[in-house]
Amino acid sequence: MSAPDSETLHAALAQFELAKLAFVDGVWVNESVRGRDLKYYIFDWDDNILSMPTRIHMERLTNDGRWVPHTCSTAAYSIIRQDPAHYRYPQSRRELAFVEFQDERTPLGGGGFMDDLDRALDDILAARRPAPPSFHTFRKTLLEGRLFAIVTARGHEPETLRRGVERFIERVLSPVEREVMLINLRGYSYCFDHVQTFPSQTEVIRNYLALNRYHAITSKAFSERLGRAEPIGQELGKRFAIADFMAHIERILERTGMSALRLPISIGFSDDDPHNIQAVRQYIEQDLVRRFPAVKFCVYDTSDGTGAHKMMISGQLELPLE
């Protein structure tokens, strides 16, 4: 990524008229991040950030008692997966149903994550379809340089998801927005890691992306992390991923000294699957609220595709999903 031209830089700096900026090592940094509320987000990917064209291959029971191939979207699967009497995996093998959701290319599919991502972005950027409920919140999260986790039922390796976020930044954020993001990211490094010399723009973004969490709960990497040979269920997997992100946030706050600032901490979780929403809400209420009493939790149900329906679990801090 090359240095911004003067017009782009001027437009980016204009976004910080109320912020305290510093000029360090030949670049601008946003010092006002020191007093920001600590808002972090956990995002499901499909039909939440992006509506990917990836398809699930099931079998459906017909009225005359035959099982026939049935291809469906992730949104449809979130409903029919609760109806095993009428829908099943081909040959009772989950991996055959989700072959398109893997990194490995096979004769039946797989390895198409980046292509599917580009097709999904093409539709949004060309206004052929509306953005999913968390698209703009994810965009704002990146713009502000806030930490996040991607928690999806897909089977990709973490690096695949990270590259997907990098592509999102390249294609969705304008040059001015990318410069705003860089000014914010440098601000966090300057204020909390005491960085005085900054790497290239590309390295700043890569270092930021490396700080976040990418969990595909049916991937080999996720199963190995849990010490299991086979994938676990969506609900249990997402609970583990959320706990991992909470522990990750704790370590970062302690390492940087941000925990001593006593700033409000809030965590937002968004998902389009009602069963995942219910499981996560119970997990927060029964476990996380007791373990993290100072944290404000919000759960956002995006299952109807029209917006995010907020459920406050702890506290009254507003955490808008916009």
Number of H helices, E strands in the chain: 12, 11
Are 191 and 255 found together in one domain?
yes
Are 272 and 203 found together in one domain?
yes
Q: Does a structural domain hold residue 116?
A: no
Are 248 and 207 found together in one domain?
yes
Span between the terminal Cα atoms of the chain, in Å? 28
Residue environment code for 14-29, b if the CB has 16+ CB neighbours within 10 A, otherwise e:
ebbeeeeeeebeebbb
What's the rounded Cα separation, in Å, for the pair 270 and 311?
10
Model confidence at 52, pLDDT cuts 50, 70, 90, reads very high
Residue scoring higher pLDDT (229 or 317): 229
Compute φ and ψ for 88, nearest 5 degrees. -150, 165
Q: Which domain holds residue 67?
A: 56-101
Are 166 and 94 found together in one domain?
no
Are 298 and 196 found together in one domain?
yes
Are 238 and 96 found together in one domain?
no
Q: Does a structural domain hold residue 321?
A: no
* Average pLDDT rounded to a whole number, residues 113-119: 96
Are 30 and 64 found together in one domain?
no
Q: Which two tokens stand for residue 289?
A: 């609220």
Total-model pTM:
0.89
Q: Does a structural domain hold residue 195?
A: yes
CA distances from 52 to 22, 79, 92, 116 (A): 40, 17, 25, 6
Q: Does a structural domain hold residue 258?
A: yes
For residue 312, the model assigns a pLDDT of 61
Q: Does a structural domain hold residue 226?
A: yes
Are 166 and 251 found together in one domain?
yes
Provide, rounded to the nearest whole percent, the portion of the chain with pLDDT above 70: 92
Please give the full DSSP string across 158-190, using - where no structure is assigned: HHHHHHHHHHHHHHHS-HHHHHHHHHHHHHHHH
What's the rounded Cα separation, in Å, for the pair 18 and 35?
13
Contact 162, 214 (CB under 8 A): yes
Instruction: For 200-247, write each residue's pLDDT tens digit.
Output: 999 999 999 999 999 999 888 898 888 887 777 778 888 899 999 999
**Domain count along the chain:** 2
Are 44 and 186 found together in one domain?
yes
Are 138 and 242 found together in one domain?
yes
Are 148 and 194 found together in one domain?
yes
Q: Does a structural domain hold residue 111?
A: no
Are 280 and 297 found together in one domain?
yes
Please give the full DSSP string across 80-139, using - where no structure is assigned: HTT-TTTEE-GGG-HHHHTGGGSSS-BTTB---HHHHHHHHHHHHHTTSSPPPTTHHHHH
Residue 157 has pLDDT above 50, yes or no: yes
Query: For residue 65, what is the enclosing H or E element?
Result: none
What's the rounded Cα separation, in Å, for the pair 13 and 2?
17
SS3 63: coil
SS3 218: coil
Q: Cα 107 vs. chain centroid, distance in angstroms?
A: 29
* Average pLDDT rounded to a whole number, residues 241-261: 88
Instruction: For 162-193, write each residue's pLDDT tens digit.
Output: 999 999 999 999 999 999 999 999 999 999 99
Contact 169, 178 (CB under 8 A): yes
Interstrand relation of 38-43 and 67-72 (parallel, antiparallel or unpaired): unpaired
Residue where one domain finishes, among candidates 64, 83, 101: 101
Instruction: Provide the 8-state DSSP code for 151.
Output: E
Instruction: For 56-72, write each residue's pLDDT tens digit.
Output: 999 999 999 999 999 99
Count the Cβ atoms, other than its own, within 10 Å of residue 32.
16
Q: Does a structural domain hold residue 173?
A: yes
Count the Cβ atoms, other than its own, within 10 Å of residue 150.
26
Compute φ and ψ for 135, nearest 5 degrees. -55, -50
Q: Does a structural domain hold residue 145?
A: yes
